[in-house]
Structure 1
């Protein structure tokens, strides 16, 4: 999808993540509509899961802006510095109070797997269609990155260059710009 949009590895991760999460939301919405209209078993299972989710008292991953979806809840641990608590731990603790879904028969599991496969096929089809649309807008996307993102990067690099101190071994009085040997 990023390749279809013309966003290569030289485009900042924030831009890539923002676009990919927004496109994922479009695909997810289309699949949800398809599932509601055509896949009754999967739709019922998803409705049961949604009811379980509403019973949770603490849901830190919900209601986030698209660019924050899927991001880790907690920072990486620092060796020797334990956390008093973690957001993920609190969420898991709240999940323990929610009753599990009722078990499914083997036939229901097989039928559900088939419907999940159909939903996956539909998601792939929508994803390919989105990529096809993005190909037609590739030049506009690249122009927007050049107009809005590149100047921000250049400004950040300029600011970084201005604020960095000269290395401690540089000899500012030297005409040749050489270095003073370390003792």
Structure 2
């Protein structure tokens, strides 16, 4: 039996809550560009995860919810949008021909994130994961071109798929409101204490920038 959106959202939140105790604040340099999946997400707003919640915490939930939307749109497309489905099938076949697919099979907490860290000025990379993937991708033949009529029909079906995705997203937001309390409770239990500890450590380091026990500071 097909699971309802409500059931899928509940299971996604359950999975996220099981993962959340393992979350730890990132110690590496933050990124300049915001995450397109999480920034301004209505789903995260419905869940009560605002800008004060670390991105890693948000991303773990938004990615799990995106999987629900993607699955629903894929089912709708397979039944109602034959041109778009044929295009997706061709693209899937092309992707399977690639020998190196580093963005596939990642855990939800890492899915959709950049493959490489931001570059450091004056310290160029010898190689990047995304660059290696692009080299492999360039060796795979492009899909055959579409006629003008086919492009117009495909654009129309893409628009229908987008409309359906928006409809599913609105339904998910309504369901997510029922999970706000347990999401907020988990944030208070597992996330806020770690953030407070980081702020306390930062305050101590600012108040005493030099170690009095260091002989160089004597």
TM-score tier after normalising by the smaller chain length: 0.7 to 0.9
2:109 corresponds in structure 1 to 67
Picking from 9, 21, 25, the partner of 2:67 is 25
Per-residue CA deviations over 1:120-172 (Å, capped at 9, x if unaligned) read: 000000000000001122122111211222233334445556677823499xx
Does residue 109 (structure 1) correspond to residue 144 (structure 2)? The answer is no
Where structure 1 has 5 or more consecutive residues not aligned to the other structure, the ranges are 171-183
2:98 aligned with 1:56: yes
TM-score if structure 2 supplies the norm length? 0.72
Residue 81 (1) aligns with residue 123 (2):
yes
Q: What does residue 133 of structure 1 align with?
A: 175
SS in 2 for 1:66: coil
Matched, 1:152 2:194: yes
Go from structure 1 to structure 2 and tell me whether the alpha carbon gap of 1:148 and 1:167 turns closer, same or farther (over 3 Å shift). closer
Q: Aligned partners of 2:188 and 2:91: how far apart in 1?
A: 43
RMSD of aligned residue pairs (Cα, Å): 2.1
The equivalent position to 1:11 in structure 2, one of 53, 57, 63, is 53
Aligned partners of 1:169 and 1:84: how far apart in 2? Answer: 37
Give the drift of 1:38: 1.1
Given the alignment, which residue of 162, 166, 183 partners 2:208? 166
Match of 2:38 in 1: none
Aligned residue for 2:30?
Answer: none
Query: For each residue in 1:34-86, what CA deviation from the matched residue of structure 2 results, as whole angstroms up to 9, or x when unmatched?
Result: 11111111011000000000000111111111121221111222222222211
> What residue is the counterpart of 2:84 in the other structure?
42
> Structure 1's 109 and 86: CA in aligned 2 closer, same or farther, altered over 3 A?
same
